[in-house]
């Protein structure tokens, strides 16, 4: 897998001063630099070129050996493991760049910082603030119980109903506290529940991955007549009252025709 990361800078500031855009660390697999076509996208009044050099810091011209001029709308492919410097004549010239390097998947995956049940501490933005994600329940842990009016307190059936209702409500609270839905890599959030969390909390649908298995159903002469399922491998089976017709390396089964294909 590859890890994409933008260049160190995306604006020439000040004009005429070369900037180091990337090194071999983030550009291990190479990358691309794009000089926008329109002046508005460049942040200028008139579109202009940028100058790229893989050997040394270039001037805003072709004076330094090894410098390449990237005109507006042109792309520059950066080879793997290269250092890149960029320059332009005007201050505030904007451009786009991204580079790729190898990404090693950690297995088994590490727990989310602050996930309950793990020893991984949460991440705090400032001293004295609450770590995120929190390592404990931050909402209510118990419900406000319902109760009977005084005149019904001696009724065992009514008391049992109220007790069962309070127990059921507490069960809902305990369940949602244990699920910790915003932390989707949790051990409980999986399967259809993971689909629901991805859609409801993050607005993301589970992607559809193709199996790579070809589908034999298609246009004319790609699917046999009177078939319910693909039957290419059953070359010795025919439907009643049908004939076998050879077409290339495939056999077609169907009703007798005046003209065979």
Whether 67 and 80 share a structural domain: yes
Whether 10 and 98 share a structural domain: yes
Q: How far is CA 111 from CA 42, 184, 206, in A?
A: 42, 11, 21
Whether 183 and 258 share a structural domain: no
Q: Which of 169, 112, 183, 120 is nearest to 141 (CA)?
A: 169
Whether 15 and 63 share a structural domain: yes
The last residue of one of the domains, among 78, 102, 126, is 102
Whether 118 and 147 share a structural domain: no
CA distance 99 to 43: 23
Q: How far is CA 76 from the centre of its chain?
A: 26
Domain extent at residue 155: 137-209
Q: How far is CA 88 from CA 22, 26, 45, 173, 236, in A?
A: 16, 23, 14, 60, 73
Question: Is the separation of the CB atoms in 2 and 68 below 8 Å?
Answer: no
By CB atoms closer than 10 A (0-12, 13-18, 19+), residue 140 is exposed
Whether 91 and 25 share a structural domain: yes
Coil, helix or strand at residue 220? coil
Name the H helices within 147-201. Answer: 156-179, 192-200
Q: What is the domain count for the chain?
A: 4
CA distance 63 to 57: 11
Whether 19 and 60 share a structural domain: yes
Whether 196 and 254 share a structural domain: no
- pLDDT value of position 188: 77
Q: Which of 116, 76, 94 is nearest to 40 (CA)?
A: 94
The last residue of one of the domains, among 136, 151, 184, is 136
Whether 12 and 71 share a structural domain: yes
Whether 179 and 220 share a structural domain: no
- pLDDT value of position 210: 52
Q: What is the mean pLDDT of each run of 10 residues along the chain (261 residues)?
A: 83 90 87 91 92 92 92 91 93 91 72 66 65 71 89 90 93 86 73 85 72 54 60 51 45 42 41
Task: Give Cβ neighbours of residue 194 (< 8 Å, ≥ 6 apart).
Answer: 184, 206
CA distance 196 to 202: 9
Whether 197 and 153 share a structural domain: yes
- pLDDT value of position 89: 92
- Residue 39 sits in a domain whose CATH number is 2.60.120.770
The residue whose two tokens read 């507006």 is 72
Q: Which of 86, 84, 93 is nearest to 28 (CA)?
A: 84
Whether 69 and 80 share a structural domain: yes
CA distance 260 to 245: 7
SS (H, E, C) 43-105: CCCCCCCEEEECCCCCCCCCCCCCEEEECCCCEEEECCCCCEEEECCCCCEECEEEEEEECCC
- pLDDT value of position 222: 57
């Amino acid at each position: 897998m590859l890890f994409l990361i933008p260049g160190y800078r995306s604006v020439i500031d000040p004009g005429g001063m070369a900037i180091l855009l990337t090194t071999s660390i983030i550009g291990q697999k190479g990358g691309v630099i794009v000089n926008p076509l329109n002046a508005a996208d460049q942040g200028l009044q008139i579109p202009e070129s940028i100058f790229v050099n893989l050997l040394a810091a270039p001037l805003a011209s072709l004076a330094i050996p090894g410098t390449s001029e990237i005109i507006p709308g042109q792309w520059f492919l950066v080879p793997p493991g290269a250092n890149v410097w960029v320059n332009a004549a005007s201050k505030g010239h904007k451009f786009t760049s991204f580079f790729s390097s190898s990404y090693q998947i950690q297995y088994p995956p590490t727990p989310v910082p602050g996930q309950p049940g793990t020893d991984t501490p949460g991440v705090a933005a400032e001293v004295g603030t609450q770590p995120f994600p929190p390592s404990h329940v931050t909402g209510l842990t118990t419900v406000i119980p319902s109760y009977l009016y005084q005149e019904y307190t001696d009724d065992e059936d009514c008391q049992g109903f109220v007790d069962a209702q309070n127990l059921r409500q507490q069960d809902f609270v305990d369940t949602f506290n244990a699920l910790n839905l915003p932390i989707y890599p949790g051990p409980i959030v999986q399967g259809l529940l993971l689909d629901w969390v991805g859609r409801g909390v993050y607005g993301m649908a589970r992607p559809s991955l193709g199996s790579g298995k070809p589908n034999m159903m298609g246009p004319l002469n790609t699917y046999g007549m009177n078939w319910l399922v693909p039957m290419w491998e059953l070359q010795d089976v025919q439907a009643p009252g049908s004939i076998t017709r050879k077409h290339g390396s495939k056999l077609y089964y169907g009703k007798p025709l005046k003209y065979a294909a």
